Amino acid sequence: MKSKKILFLCAAAASIALTGCYDEKMDWHTPDGHGAVVSSEIPLALAEKIANYDYIKNYMAQYMPNVPIGLGIGADKYLSDEAYAAVANANFMMFTAGNAMKHSSVVKNDGSLNVGEGSTVRLFLDKAESNGIEVFGHNFIWHTQQNQTYLKSLIAPKMEVQSDGDIASVVKNGGFESGTLEGWMGWGNGSTREISAQGEGYNSNYSAVLTNPKDANAWDAQFCQDLSAALEIGKTYVIRFKAKCSVASGQLQTCVQQPSGSYPAEGYHTFSVGTEWTTCEYEFTVASHDQLTRLCINFGAVAATYYIDDVEFGEKVVDPMDNVLAGDDSDFEGGTTGAWGSWGNSSSKSVSEKGGGYNSDYCMVLENPTDANQWSAQCAYTFSDPFINGTTYIIQFYAKSDVAGATLQFQVQNSTTYGSQEGYHTFELTTDWVQYEYEYTCSKDDVDRILLNFGKTAAKYYIDNIKFGPKKSSASARKFSAPRRASKVVYTFKTAEEKRELLLSAMQNWITNMAAACPNVKQWDVVNEPITDGTYKLRGVDEGAWMNDDAEPTEDNVNGLNLNWESDHFYWGYYIGKDYAVKAFQYAREAVGSGAKLYINDYNLETSPGKLAALIDFVNYIDQNGAQVDGIGTQMHVTASTITKDEVDQMFKTLAATGKLIRISELDVALGTATPSAEQMQTQSDVYQMIITSYKENIPTAQQGGICIWGLSDAADEHEYWLTDESPNIFDKNYARKTAYKGVCDGIAGQDIGETFSGDEWTKSYE
């Protein structure tokens, strides 16, 4: 089948050696006893032969029927470059998208899939199918090109911020309890800002609701308030607010800026926000900009709906004392009352219901059932060392009562003799949270206990954020180091089982929804590259600890995860265990049906018998534990100068013995140069032919799942990230056929097709 169309696609290749058969005929001398030389007797040059080869898929249909010849293709290039698409369509039966169908390309930060009308996946599938090309699904589960942001957000610990200071807030309408967004403004990225429905605030009626419709830069969608006065250089400020998000992977960024000109800004900080209310707090010192009068909450990074409440911003108020209480002894966020004890008047001490604290989950609750003397019901904290005689101490706490005017009394004493009582001071409470403070100077040598007496009024007393310690000097109280966090962050980690279940659900949703979006895709790589090099272990399962859940989180490790994982790397097996692959094949089978073919895929199998054996062992494990692997893909990214026929033969024989479908999934042959010589191109052609010949000889016909050439051409834009400065493909950078094109076709045919051409073939193609 020769045509001018073949010449159009391959003319550049032909031109490199086309000397002209008619010129040769003119110089051809007639042998003795031979009649006149005719064109059919003149041998064709190599480039002339290659130009006269048919399309690859036609040889495949003739010599290897029912076995697809495929191409690893760039979906974006296929959609935008018609010359590229024409060569691909003409030569191949099946396409495997290099990146477009992978997790990180499809799954958005909220876990939904970008597969609708106008998406790259949808356009690619439609164009391939309109040209009669099948698509091979690549891939479901890998250790790279996973949406790390989304997956990590599912298993991240709950973060709680515990403040070590307070804020002289200048924000207006920070609690939104007016039922309006008065004082606030915003813009950008098609976003919206509105007040919540009643009851949707953080332990209150209202919050701000910010909706960002698409992922962008953080600052592309903003929620801002202009302040009445500019921030001062050298002063330390704190932003604190409550937030939650419609997705687990939300992100909010705060900063302050000038409201005009080039909008200079500083104090940037990014918060990870999940689906439960959390406290976001950050401290910074203004370094260099004056006229910073605008507070910004940027919400453009992740498409989601954000709820914001209890916004405070202002100069940091430093604790006036060196606080000696911490954790549950101070803020009760562990759900206990710590070392506080209580007694008297049939009173009780407990922790509030969740959400009952002062802008926090928990507080201490003291209940006095009947009016009595102030000291009839007491709550006490005892220290291991006595106070220092002559030192001034400060007690500070937030409190409220269910009875307006109920009183709390502060005092100190010796915990053993109950003597040395002093420091008495009475606070009158309201039904709203108020911060109370009192200082006293110790005049005894044996005081070691503080008391809060609550026996006078029958009432419930809610107490939170208790601080007590020696009063700071005026100088030390106002001296800060900057920038630093104004608070410590407390993490509550999910259990291993909780993480496993969350990720299995995410895996099932991804596979199910992706398969549903690609109903005509009937072959998939379900698990890709599960075996390590050298050690031949299962990636993330038994190759070593990737994470220590009990490690103290740091700024670089805020999710309790080892963040030296490369971008978009995620090891499913670390959290799910060896059965991650079993589950993946089960979910895939449910999603695509019994007639689809499901593969496991890996590389270096031709040069690493140990890795090959480990992969087959893993396949057997999957088959024996409730799932079914239909086929094994061997990638075969080989180097022409080092690969041997014995290695290839032995691999195919070993794979054939599994009884599975065997597929050459990503074949290319590197030469080590982007400008190969004619000799190097012939070697490359020989390797392509040898691999395909070995495949035919060693894999029974019934087990031949297909051959996929990885990449169409040597063009630089196809090798920006893979085999850069190389020439591994069968078309050159101009989409002209290389010598390797002939090697592929001859391997498929099992013969040198070019030897069957006569000199007349030149006139048929080039007339």
Kindly give the interhelix angle for 609-624 and 580-592, rounded to the nearest 10 degrees: 60
Burial (0-12, 13-18, 19+ Cβ within 10 Å), 299: buried
Q: Are residues 189 and 66 in the same domain?
A: no
Q: Provide the CATH number for the domain around residue 459.
A: 2.60.120.260
Q: Are residues 596 and 727 in the same domain?
A: yes
Question: Where do we find the tokens 């549903």?
Answer: 516
The pLDDT assigned to 43 comes to: 54
In a domain, 308, yes or no: yes
What single-letter amino acid sits at 292? L
Per residue in 230-284, pLDDT tens? 999 999 999 999 999 999 999 999 999 999 888 999 999 999 999 999 999 999 9
Domain count, the chain: 3
Question: Where do we find the tokens 């026996």?
Answer: 455
Q: Are residues 336 and 297 in the same domain?
A: no
Contacts of 305 (CB under 8 A, 6+ apart): 209, 210, 211, 212, 245, 246
Per residue in 495-504, pLDDT tens? 889 999 999 9
Q: Worst-scoring range by mean pLDDT, 417-426, 451-460, 491-500?
A: 491-500
**Side by side, which strands form the sheet with 341-343?**
341-343, 378-382, 449-453, 407-413, 422-428
Q: Are residues 611 and 656 in the same domain?
A: yes
Q: Are residues 343 and 415 in the same domain?
A: yes
The answer on pLDDT for 127 being more than 60 is yes
Contacts of 89 (CB under 8 A, 6+ apart): 131, 133
Q: Are residues 543 and 679 in the same domain?
A: yes
Question: Given pLDDT bands bounded at 50, 70 and 90, which one contains residue 568?
Answer: confident
Inter-residue contact 600 to 539 (CB < 8 Å): no
Q: Are residues 289 and 213 in the same domain?
A: yes
In a domain, 6, yes or no: no
Question: Given pLDDT bands bounded at 50, 70 and 90, which one contains residue 155?
Answer: confident
Q: Are residues 613 and 694 in the same domain?
A: yes
Question: Given pLDDT bands bounded at 50, 70 and 90, which one contains residue 544?
Answer: very low
Q: What percent of the chain has pLDDT over 70?
A: 87
In a domain, 2, yes or no: no
Question: Where do we find the tokens 């299962």?
Answer: 538
| Nearest-angstrom CA–CA distance, 267 and 254 | 7
| Nearest-angstrom CA–CA distance, 181 and 192 | 12
In a domain, 716, yes or no: yes
Look at residues 471, 488, 508 and tell me which one is the last residue of a structural domain: 471
Q: Provide the CATH number for the domain around residue 128.
A: 3.20.20.80
The pLDDT assigned to 240 comes to: 93
What single-letter amino acid sits at 11? A
Contacts of 709 (CB under 8 A, 6+ apart): 69, 70, 71, 72, 92, 667, 668, 729, 730, 744
35: how many CB neighbours lie within 10 A of its CB?
A: 7
End-to-end CA distance of the chain: 15
Evaluate the omega torsion of the peptide bond into residue 483 and state whether it is cis, within 30 degrees of 0.
Answer: yes
The answer on pLDDT for 480 being more than 50 is no
In a domain, 252, yes or no: yes
Q: Are residues 619 and 638 in the same domain?
A: yes
The pLDDT assigned to 20 comes to: 34
State which residues form the domain around 174. 158-318
In a domain, 488, yes or no: no
Q: Are residues 334 and 313 in the same domain?
A: no
The answer on pLDDT for 479 being more than 70 is no
In a domain, 44, yes or no: no
| Nearest-angstrom CA–CA distance, 64 and 704 | 9
pTM exceeding 0.75:
no
Closest CA to 339 of 374, 375, 384: 384
Q: Are residues 646 and 590 in the same domain?
A: yes
In a domain, 162, yes or no: yes
Q: Are residues 183 and 277 in the same domain?
A: yes
